[in-house]
Structure 1
Amino acid sequence: MEFNVLAILVAALSTLVVGFIWYNPKVFGTAWMHAAGLTEDQLKGANMAKIFGLALLFAIMLSFSLYALVVHQSGVVSLVNGDVENAKPSFDAFMTDYGTAFRTFKHGALHGFLAGLFIALPIIGTNALFERKSSKYILINAGFWTVCLTVMGAIICGWV
């Protein structure tokens, strides 16, 4: 089974594209800024190269993790410790029958959406509750990550 690094990188870059749209002042940017308790002056004094560089690094890390959730065959490969050359004949038989099963954009999008709903939302929601942030803050940020994970899952699963 091949690992498509280009799909991982494009999926990671998609988070920046979605972010440019999502956090645009005409979409959710102004509402997010108010919900986060930030002012325009606070946002202007940031090192944007550092922010976008780290955001891209984190998105790449997330893409690698998401790969295991959306490409089911990766679990089978992990069962043989990645040593597909010396795996038992049952591994080859399984991969012949199911090696490309559920490898579509639609299936990846589904699993990405579920990751957003059942992983991103609870993490963001828990942090926001302790930070005393509003439900609007939770919905804007969890919505962003749910959309991102949906797009990332589609790219990774459909393009691998």
Structure 2
Amino acid sequence: MEFNFVAVLVAALVTLLVGFVWYNPKVFGTIWMNESGMTEEKAKQGNMLKIFGLTIFYSFMLAFIMPALTVHQMGALGMIGGPEFVNKALPSYAAFMADYGDTFRTYQHGALHGFMSGVFLALPITCINGLFEQKSWKYMLINAGYWIVSMTIMGAVVCRWI
């Protein structure tokens, strides 16, 4: 099982596509702006190169860890010490991979694990921050929902393509 950089890159770019739709004024953008205190003028003052550049960087970090969250075979690979130890692994590893190497490697399975990652990682983190920032539940759920949808799609892409 080789690392697929293209899959990780596509999964990282998913966040931009989902964000373009999710935060569109016709979807949740207007509500989010009202709840966050953001205005059109303030948004235009932001350094877009910095914002989008760091967004892609952080999204890549999420996409990079997604195989460990969505691909069961990564656990077996981790048990032998990583890809550099495949040739030195006991025969049981090769037998396991021959029997189960492609098991649960579907878009649906990756989406399930991506969704669970969003619900059990992104939602709590987003809501904890929102509580301390004294933000509304609308604000927290819009942001958490964005991450749940993004991570669901990221999981689907990575699980099937890696």
Q: Is the pair's TM-score, using the shorter chain for normalization, greater than 0.5?
A: yes
Aligned mates of 1:5, 1:11 — CA distance in 2: 10
Matching residue of 1:121 = 123
Aligned mates of 2:151, 2:38 — CA distance in 1: 26
Aligned pair 1:47/2:47, yes or no? yes
Aligned pair 1:98/2:124, yes or no? no
Matching residue of 1:154 = 156
Q: CA deviation at 1:41?
A: 1.4
AA in 2 matched with 1:4: N
Pairing 1:63-82 to 2, within 5 Å after superposition? 63-82=63-82
> Which ranges of structure 1 fall in alignment gaps of 5 or more residues?
none
Percent identity between the aligned chains?
Answer: 59
Pairing 1:133-148 to 2, within 5 Å after superposition? 133-148=135-150
CA offset digits 1:73-128 (Å, max 9, x no partner): 11111111111010001111111111111000000000000111111000000000
When the two chains are superposed, the root-mean-square deviation of aligned CA atoms in Å is: 0.7
Q: CA deviation at 1:37?
A: 1.4
Matching residue of 2:113 = 111
Q: CA deviation at 1:66?
A: 1.2
Specify the SS of the correspondent of 2:105.
Answer: coil
TM-score normalised according to structure 1 size: 0.98
Q: CA deviation at 1:158?
A: 1.2
> Which ranges of structure 2 fall in alignment gaps of 5 or more residues?
none
TM-score normalised according to structure 2 size: 0.97
- Alignment: residue pair count: 160
Aligned mates of 2:91, 2:161 — CA distance in 1: 27
Q: CA deviation at 1:26?
A: 1.0
CA offset digits 1:4-29 (Å, max 9, x no partner): 11000000011101101111111111
Matching residue of 1:9 = 9
Specify the SS of the correspondent of 1:25.
Answer: coil
Q: CA deviation at 1:143?
A: 0.3
Matching residue of 1:56 = 56
